[in-house]
Each structure stands twice: as C-alpha cells, then as structure tokens.
C-alpha cells in the first residue's frame, strides 16, 4: 500500500510539472506555487532551524529556530491552501506571491531565477 501511494505521488508530481511546462500564465503559476507550498511546508521547519544555527549556533537553533520554524511552517501551508483555492482570481494584485522569501521553498540552484538566463 505504501509503495503504491509513493508511486502515485511521484506520478502526480511528474504530470503536474509536465502539464505546466508549456502553460505559464500567472494564474497557473499561482496554482503551482500553492501546490508546491502544500507539498513542501514541512521542510520549512528544518530550514529555519538550519538558518538560525548558521547565524548563532545550536542554542539559537533550539530557541529562535523552533519558533520561526513553526511560524513559517504555518505560513507556508496556509498560503499554499489560499493560493490553490483562489488561483483563478487575481488576488493579491496581478497574482503576486504571498510569501516572497522565497516564493517557493527551494532556493538556489533550483529556483527559476537561477535557471532563467538574463536577457
């Protein structure tokens, strides 16, 4: 059962990414952003702890990192659900992302800004 669910999840992600490769309208980008935030919200907790650990060591990671991790995890899942539900509507203005830092969970080298060539 677990193996079939894992395969189904991989198949959904492949189809999801392939279907939006040629359909990059602002509304679908908002939907994709929301869907990705729903899938990766749990990684935000670990990321915030790592970020705080790099700044101030283990004590800061275990205090500030946990607090910001819980907050950013909640923010990422809530913004993801909001963007999936409201993707046909241009709210906020011009489909701008709610979370800007980063728009998607992953950053360099996987972000679109890193893969997009400057013109």
Let me know if residue 8 belongs to a domain: no
With 0.85 as the threshold, say if the pTM is over it: no
Let me know if residue 20 belongs to a domain: no
**Do residues 41 and 80 make contact, with C-beta atoms less than 8 angstroms apart?**
yes
Full residue range of the structural domain in which residue 59 is found: 26-115
**Do residues 102 and 111 make contact, with C-beta atoms less than 8 angstroms apart?**
yes
Element (H, E) at 27: helix 26-40
Let me know if residue 63 belongs to a domain: yes
pLDDT value at residue 29: 84
Q: How far apart are CA 35 and CA 3, in angstroms?
A: 22
Backbone angles phi, psi at 80, to 5 degrees: -65, -45
Give the tokens for residue 41. Answer: 């919200």
Let me know if residue 11 belongs to a domain: no
pLDDT value at residue 3: 81
Q: Can you give the pLDDT of all 119 residues of the chain as single tens digits?
A: 778 877 777 777 666 665 555 567 888 888 888 888 898 888 889 888 998 999 999 999 999 999 999 999 999 999 999 999 998 888 888 888 888 777 776 654 344 444 444 43
Domain count, the chain: 1
Let me know if residue 88 belongs to a domain: yes
């Amino acid at each position: 059962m677990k193996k079939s669910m894992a395969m189904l999840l991989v198949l959904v992600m492949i189809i999801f990414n392939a279907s939006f490769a040629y359909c990059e309208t602002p509304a679908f980008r908002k939907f994709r952003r929301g869907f990705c935030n729903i899938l990766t919200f749990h990684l935000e907790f670990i990321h915030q702890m790592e970020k705080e650990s790099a700044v101030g060591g283990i004590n800061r990671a275990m205090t500030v990192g946990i607090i910001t991790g819980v907050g950013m995890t909640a923010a990422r899942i809530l913004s993801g659900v909001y963007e999936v539900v409201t993707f046909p509507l241009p709210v906020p203005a011009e489909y701008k992302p709610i979370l800007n830092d980063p728009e998607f969970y992953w950053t360099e080298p996987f972000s679109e800004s890193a893969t997009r060539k400057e013109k």
